[in-house]
Amino acid sequence: MQVDRLNAAYCAALDEARFDDWPEFFLDDGQYKVQARENFDRGLPLALIALESKGMMKDRVYGVTQTIYHGPYYMRHVVGPARVLSDDGGLVRAQSNYAVFRTRPGDASEVYNVGRYIDEIVRTEAGLRLRSRLCVYDSEMVLNSLIYPI
Amino acid sequence: MQVDRLNAAYCAALDEARFDDWPEFFLDDGQYKVQARENFDRGLPLALIALESKGMMKDRVYGVTQTIYHGPYYMRHVVGPARVLSDDGGLVRAQSNYAVFRTRPGDASEVYNVGRYIDEIVRTEAGLRLRSRLCVYDSEMVLNSLIYPI
Amino acid sequence: MQVDRLNAAYCAALDEARFDDWPEFFLDDGQYKVQARENFDRGLPLALIALESKGMMKDRVYGVTQTIYHGPYYMRHVVGPARVLSDDGGLVRAQSNYAVFRTRPGDASEVYNVGRYIDEIVRTEAGLRLRSRLCVYDSEMVLNSLIYPI
């Protein structure tokens, strides 16, 4: 339940392009990784994006919003109810399936990136925070345009 | 939680083409608006559909089911868990991301309209009712065929 | 809530290709049916898949994983919150909308099958089990490639 609310807030920040809010869903030493399913399933380390602290996430946001030249697009996340694998009071392990739709100006909405979040979530005084979010996506065909976090 | 149930019932009514049930999710003076994200983000008033009472919604349903000639299609809504922004006991403000898929006879299912619901929900003796539902959709490319409510 | 968790676990088993786990979501005499909406709405019996026991499901899994030659693909389910229609303590009747995305190797993810689950769910000592899951899908255009359970 609380994980669903975390996901809803997380997705709203990205879909509303409030990218500066995005690192705040993580612990200071939080991890964020975006990896193809093919590599994940084989235990290979190669990842499309791998950020190992909130500082790196802020750098990424700065790069994406200030320096990268790219065609603009909207994102829309639809996430299924979370599946909690374990919850020892402090640390919650959960997974959720997501579909992200992309809309480019003047174009129809399209399936952009589907996959699952594999999460380690920590209860803090400020609420739930991600210690680690691994996004395992099913298709390798959207890489060149994966600008914003998923 | 209750908002999720409201959304599930709302979507089931539309997807099962029980359009007469649709106005009943609203208060008598409920508002229903469908607006492009581009206009919403800029604070522009232009909306694709703007209905300002349950009576107008019933008129719309009558028009859609009895008088408009259009190619038939099925809808299928998949809505993410709601994000409750405030809840003062009587009034709940919530937002939810949605994806609507369309299936025309003999055709494959396709992404039809994605966006978010921005809701004001009131607790009544008969259960939760929408005081206002604003559907902000990401793409302007489906307008000519947006017949049924979203 | 518990239905949502059942759905999340069910979808994870299919999406992770743990097909041997799939029959375990059902009672021994559980029913699984996949039917086009057109037939369902008209009360016609024709179904694409109709399995009437866990044994038949295991046979199906064996066939799909060991004997059918077909192009490989990934599935990704995104399911909306369940709508509980009745709950008499032992038996829960629920419906949920689903979207399944398919990703073939080297290809983009695409909408594969959308529809709704119509479920009869029983509380057992081992947790919730499906007595019956009927998958009513909106489009008839994906039949030739519907290999795995939905």
Above 0.90 for ipTM, yes or no? Answer: yes
Confidence band of A67 (pLDDT split at 50, 70, 90): confident
**B90 pLDDT exceeds 70?**
yes
Q: What percent of chain C has pLDDT over 70?
A: 98
- Report chain C's mean pLDDT, rounded to a whole number: 94
C143 touching B (Cβ < 8 Å): no
Angle at B80 between CA B74 and CA B86, to 5 degrees: 125
**C143 pLDDT exceeds 70?**
no
Residue B56 contacts by C-beta under 8 Å, 6 or more apart in sequence?
A: none
pLDDT tens across A98-108, in order? 999 999 988 99
pLDDT tens across A104-144, in order? 988 999 999 999 999 999 999 999 999 999 999 999 886 55
- Report chain A's mean pLDDT, rounded to a whole number: 94
Determine how β-strand B91-103 pairs with β-strand B74-79: antiparallel
| A77 half-sphere exposure, CB direction, 13 A CA radius | 29
Task: Tell me the domain boundaries of chain C.
Answer: 2-137
Q: CA distances (Å), C46 to each of C30, C131, C150, in order?
A: 19, 20, 17
pLDDT tens across C58-106, in order? 999 999 888 877 888 999 999 999 999 999 988 999 999 999 999 998 8
| A53 CB-contact burial (10 Å; exposed 0-12 / middle 13-18 / buried 19+) | middle
* CATH 3.10.450.50 describes domain A2-137: yes
C126 touching A (Cβ < 8 Å): no
Contact C83 B9 (CB under 8 A): yes
C7 touching B (Cβ < 8 Å): no
pLDDT tens across B93-136, in order? 999 999 999 999 889 999 999 999 999 999 999 999 999 999 99
- Chain C CB contacts of B11 below 8 Å: 80, 97
**B45 pLDDT exceeds 80?**
yes
Helix (H) or strand (E) holding B2, with range, is helix B2-15
Query: What's the predicted TM-score (pTM) here?
Result: 0.95
Contact A79 C81 (CB under 8 A): no
| B12 half-sphere exposure, CB direction, 13 A CA radius | 20
C83 touching B (Cβ < 8 Å): yes
Q: Which amino acid does the sequence have at B2?
A: Q
Contact A37 C77 (CB under 8 A): no
A81 touching B (Cβ < 8 Å): yes
Please name the residue of chain B whose CA is at the shortest distance from the CA of residue C94.
B8
pLDDT of residue B53: 97
Determine how β-strand B91-103 pairs with β-strand C91-103: unpaired
Cα–Cα distance between C15 and C19 in angstroms, integer? 9
